[in-house]
Structure 1
């Protein structure tokens, strides 16, 4: 996938990692002899940090790498398989249950799957692990949870707080386990209060404080930031008082839970009333959020919008809210999140204030506005920017749907969300998840009728890519009937267009063309540019597949592309028109033009991360190359496409019967030219390519990929590190772009320097980040700096 923030890669650490040497060694040993390791312990004890650091240390041991699945923002257990599939880069096109598709995809992969924060989905995660591990013999799982999963074969590692020096021990020995808690306090205190240091005069006070905190890392960090306003003596005294006051009369069985709860409560008491109010209201977010979301959801007459930013900054300063880079790195707009234990405290406070319902309603309204704007601007040059901006909010979009389904009278109709969420689901390739939510919304809500009709239209449109054409027809018929009753000609035309698409997939020429013909006068009178673009490429598809008239199809597809020139940075519609145009050129016997068109399509779909479109582009490139007599390259491309279709859970070419017949004819011609055995060998080589490698191969024009990935047999140790640097994985153009990134140029400045479109520059940067396994542009700069140093050393040797 080209969107790094949905790829499941490990995040960069934003604060220093202190100690835990023995713990990391133990976790690595457990991973070496067990396929399911669960780190347990109370909230705030450091389970996630240890899991991520351990996973980073062992990622080279797994042929298919490490994937992180962050579950803290997931509330619906039924979506767990979809969430795991998304982290693995699998699109949700498979009509089977998501778990079945996931089982097949993981059957022959060697991954370490990190399932973080499982306690609120304990039964679902346990079931998933119990089903996956026997079916996928090379899969390993590292989970974090406050409770064990209780699955056969699970090895538990109880994460303890940082070791606290005993009374009388100084904790002064560097590198000793007993100094870790003091080292963490010292580092965080120095960050909060520049100039702070541990001296012989204050060491015992600091040790007394961290003993009172039981060595819990989150507790130490929350206390350390108070040194901005308090001396160490005052901090220790205030904390002692807080324990006496806040814990009076409470009975909590686990002392460490009581310690953390007390400390969070004390932090809460030290906040101003408006800071407490913001903290409570922020608890409705699932996962991260940005400033605009915080202002829209948390502000009202009691908490003016102008106050949100300074209060948010204050909560960041107090370590109540964590700041993180956006998906594009430090230059992106900042995002924020609450740790689970802190969010739970805020949610309890919000509930006690009686504000939960109102705050959730504002949450739904905010994300509805974002989705509506994206849907309205989808067929414009803003498409890629808006898709990237919305992608990190997947957990919040699910939460909004959940809030609306729980309380439609207050939070708003769930159908109003599903009617505009199609653009997000399409660009994120979450078609199976889309069907899940649309089915729930349609089953539990019937008003308003226009939103119901629109939801039915998109459910049918997505459904045909899942091979569910027969089920789609009743949805389209209901949508047409509802739109007609509403007297909405544009909605009727949209329903007729999707009806044509479904009939086209079924090979029903007369019904497809009749629906298109009926839609045309409505479009002429009421259609928007986006409607006309879609109409032209669906009609082109029908002419191509049903009537077998590629010449007439080219007329429609060219008309769609002419309309697209008004918004040249749009990728989705241009990509599909280009895909169909490639097939038409192949049928017209113009393979050189078809090759160029296929590469254009691959670039468009690659920039957007449209997995269905990417698979189609690679497939079409193979057909076009076969038409030019480049049978070996064609064999590898068709093999690469086959792997992509499999990962999508789809038949090749989405199961379109006429296209399948063309594919078989092309394969037959290749086998006749080079022999069945050679075709199979090359096809199998192509199947080993990942999505980004397949895109790079399509663009390169070479007979063979630059380097075919190697897989080791199960149980074989990981290969020694390569002597080359990661820079060697980049193409010459990508290296050129990477060097400009390292110089601090923006994507627009890079496009101007290299005389390429900004979209192409965006795509290059995304590919570079994906190839190198990076999440930040700063990492590219650091890598190139180290590569330059190595080169200089080689020169001097």
Structure 2
């Protein structure tokens, strides 16, 4: 179950990770260790329950971090280079600055108090170590909780080994009551009841339950795999068969740690009890990352020994055996495989020499998904299409990784990216897209037609990140290739790129001809995407450079066409540019206000953050023009939040920046520096939904409030005296309490606020 986003980028802990049996002592110890340091790694063998313990700890400390707890699944990531991008995405950041995603994350977290939970780091240890070191060095109030089969090896890391659940010694158990204190038994009973609700530990079976939990060494995954067999076997039968199996399977594996032998033997045993088609299904389903739907499973796993019509029954069988986890979201049932079981399945796939074939089928399914997205994107279903593609994105990453590592597949990867290019734009995953394009260009043959596509996509991405040098290099290289291998559609894309570059850089006159050329090319070949976005750039450039009314007419025409198609994303851009043109060219504040609100509502619906930030800037200018200076400054603060989330500034859009500077100066002069900064800060602090309502004038902002510190009255008093420079002895004398009591309060203040030194406390008091 994916983490639930609360709209601010912070993700609450998945419910599946917070409801489990036992671990009270380990959870308490982990919380104490987090109180005393900023980095804690929960380490242990696969299947021991690290992720569930981390979820429990994160839920318990949620209040301390005021709900700012972000859960990042790294098991779904195969490429270490993309780790910072995955964290940025979990934080809701759009990396539009051209800086590294690590730098964008650090800038966002620098003054925040937050807990990052990085789950399943063992396959990305070096990348995790580099990322964690950078964050902790620059973000003093951030704590990081890691789960990994090994430590990540950075300075300041605290390691809490996660042991198996407590198990009984079978020979010492005399009654069912003797088993009540053992977490392993409690877990077994809980999972057994999920398949046989009437299951109980009785006088007849308690010894067998004890023996089973002892043999499984308290490994939660092994216990859960065994518990599902209670449906068809008595505990005694289960114990006898499993004991025999363990003895057989662990023989000859003496070099592996005992618990690894036990877990492997248990998984082997579960695998052996599957039917031959179920075993094939297990191996083939392991190529998926994150969750997948039934239709995808039928395509990828069917054939060559698995009848596609039987896939549903096979999936049901693997769910019953706890190999697959069933999840439901938005009325759709999806499936996920636990990482340890997925690794086992991939081993079986490799042994069968079938991984290449299954990976190709996996890639083909998601390439088909990309094609369906392209065909239906310009239409009324953009919001559900974006949501669906986001759910599938872990698998799209796997498919692209296959394309850019397997010989001869790079062209298919480029074609796939081109079909869903707007997904990256709306999601703001620009740095990650550039990583993919760099790999594509490295893998593509020099004479591949897709090189032009890869170059112009990379150029467009660089454009939105403000990387002018790369824009010129990529568009220039694409233009040279087009001289030898003409392609009118690709030429239209390159011309559009140069035209938008001119608009952004403040030269709309140069953009007029370029965007007209691009528009003609797209119309000639009926490229719906091109016909949806280029008229906006053309209308804006005409309106700014030549004829306001003619430019406005072009924008109105594309707005009407998008409306007839039920389209939202590009219509929001056209409305945004129309409102801006009204304000920039003729200072029609009333018209710009009405149009801007329409653009904002649409952009928010589909999630186009660039339009939200751009439009809010225009509405700030409108408010300043009307003399509503407090509102104008507050809107500037709201817009700044959007620009920060994208990792860029309005300076990247020269015409907008000119308008902003003019009206921001008027507003600051009208309010004075202090009132201006206070209003801007209030805008920055508003939660996203409250900011939207305020911008649309559907609600007033709350008055600036002193944030709750969680400190007691006495602790607040001591914190202020620390800020005055008093020592613990001097504070004790001032307050007529013991020095030991003062030190106790100082320790509590540090823990509550996440600080390590008295100077941090003093600085915090001064800021407040």
Same fold, TM-score > 0.5, yes or no: yes
2:102 match: 99
1:629 match: 627
Higher normalized contact order (CA 8 Å, seq sep 6+, divided by chain length)? 1
1:228 match: 231
Structure 2: runs of 5+ lacking an equivalent: 716-768
1:267, distance to aligned residue in structure 2 (A): 0.2
Residues 617/593 of structure 1: CA separation in 2 closer, same or farther (3 Å cut): same
Does 15-24 or 626-635 show the bigger shift? 15-24
Runs of 4+ in 1 over 6 A off after TM superposition: 1-6, 717-720
2:728 match: none
User: CA separation in 2, counterparts of 1:697 and 1:171?
Assistant: 65
2:701 match: 705
Residues 708/86 of structure 1: CA separation in 2 closer, same or farther (3 Å cut): farther
1:782 match: none
Structure with max Cα Rg = 2
2:654 match: 657
User: CA separation in 2, counterparts of 1:719 and 1:567?
Assistant: 63
- 1:284-683 aligned at under 5 Å gives the runs 284-326=287-329, 328=330, 331=331, 333-409=332-408, 413-446=412-445, 449-483=448-482, 485-545=484-544, 547=545, 549-568=547-566, 570-587=567-584, 588-652=586-650, 655-683=652-680
User: CA separation in 1, counterparts of 2:298 and 2:235?
Assistant: 35
1:183, distance to aligned residue in structure 2 (A): 1.4
1:133 match: 136
Residues 692/453 of structure 1: CA separation in 2 closer, same or farther (3 Å cut): farther
1:407, distance to aligned residue in structure 2 (A): 0.6
1:572, distance to aligned residue in structure 2 (A): 1.1
Residues 138/493 of structure 1: CA separation in 2 closer, same or farther (3 Å cut): same
User: CA separation in 2, counterparts of 1:105 and 1:343?
Assistant: 34
- 1:38-187 aligned at under 5 Å gives the runs 38-63=41-66, 65-167=68-170, 168-169=172-173, 172-173=176-177, 178-187=181-190
Q: Is the 8 A contact 1:6 1:87 kept in 2?
A: yes
User: CA separation in 2, counterparts of 1:219 and 1:87?
Assistant: 31
Structure 1: runs of 5+ lacking an equivalent: 721-797
Q: TM-score, normalization: structure 2?
A: 0.88
Q: Is the 8 A contact 1:404 1:411 kept in 2?
A: yes
Residues 375/161 of structure 1: CA separation in 2 closer, same or farther (3 Å cut): same
User: CA separation in 1, counterparts of 2:220 and 2:264?
Assistant: 13
Does 407-416 or 309-318 show the bigger shift? 407-416
2:693 match: 696
Q: Is the 8 A contact 1:579 1:616 kept in 2?
A: yes
User: CA separation in 1, counterparts of 2:660 and 2:178?
Assistant: 66
1:45, distance to aligned residue in structure 2 (A): 0.9
Residues 670/690 of structure 1: CA separation in 2 closer, same or farther (3 Å cut): same
User: CA separation in 2, counterparts of 1:667 and 1:49?
Assistant: 49
User: CA separation in 2, counterparts of 1:359 and 1:374?
Assistant: 23
Residue aligned with 2:40, SS: strand
For 1:253, which of 247, 252, 256 is the aligned residue?
256
Residues 222/492 of structure 1: CA separation in 2 closer, same or farther (3 Å cut): same
Q: Is the 8 A contact 2:410 2:443 kept in 1?
A: no
User: CA separation in 1, counterparts of 2:178 and 2:625?
Assistant: 69
Does 386-395 or 548-557 show the bigger shift? 548-557
Q: Deviations over 1:10-62 (max 9, x none)?
A: 21228941121111111111111111011111111111011011101111112
Q: Is the 8 A contact 1:418 1:438 kept in 2?
A: no
User: CA separation in 2, counterparts of 1:636 and 1:490?
Assistant: 43
Residues 681/548 of structure 1: CA separation in 2 closer, same or farther (3 Å cut): farther
1:701, distance to aligned residue in structure 2 (A): 4.3
Number of aligned residues: 710
1:742 match: none
User: CA separation in 2, counterparts of 1:312 and 1:525?
Assistant: 48
Q: Deviations over 1:356-408 (max 9, x none)?
A: 11111111111111112212322211222111111022221111111111113
Q: Is the 8 A contact 1:64 1:110 kept in 2?
A: no
User: CA separation in 1, counterparts of 2:110 and 2:33?
Assistant: 22
User: CA separation in 1, counterparts of 2:625 and 2:445?
Assistant: 52
Does 202-211 or 62-71 show the bigger shift? 62-71
1:195, distance to aligned residue in structure 2 (A): 2.0
Residue aligned with 2:71, SS: strand
Q: Is the 8 A contact 1:460 1:475 kept in 2?
A: yes
User: CA separation in 1, counterparts of 2:214 and 2:283?
Assistant: 29
1:504, distance to aligned residue in structure 2 (A): 1.9
Q: Is the 8 A contact 2:5 2:11 kept in 1?
A: no
Residues 719/205 of structure 1: CA separation in 2 closer, same or farther (3 Å cut): farther
Q: Deviations over 1:296-328 (max 9, x none)?
A: 2111242121111110110000001111223x3
Q: Is the 8 A contact 1:62 1:718 kept in 2?
A: no
Q: Is the 8 A contact 2:97 2:646 kept in 1?
A: yes
1:275, distance to aligned residue in structure 2 (A): 0.4
Q: Is the 8 A contact 1:37 1:143 kept in 2?
A: yes
Q: TM-score, normalization: structure 1?
A: 0.85
Q: Deviations over 1:176-223 (max 9, x none)?
A: 6x3321111111111112322211211111111111111111111100
Say what the alpha-carbon RMSD is for the aligned residues: 2.6
Residue aligned with 1:141, SS: strand
Q: Is the 8 A contact 1:321 1:338 kept in 2?
A: yes
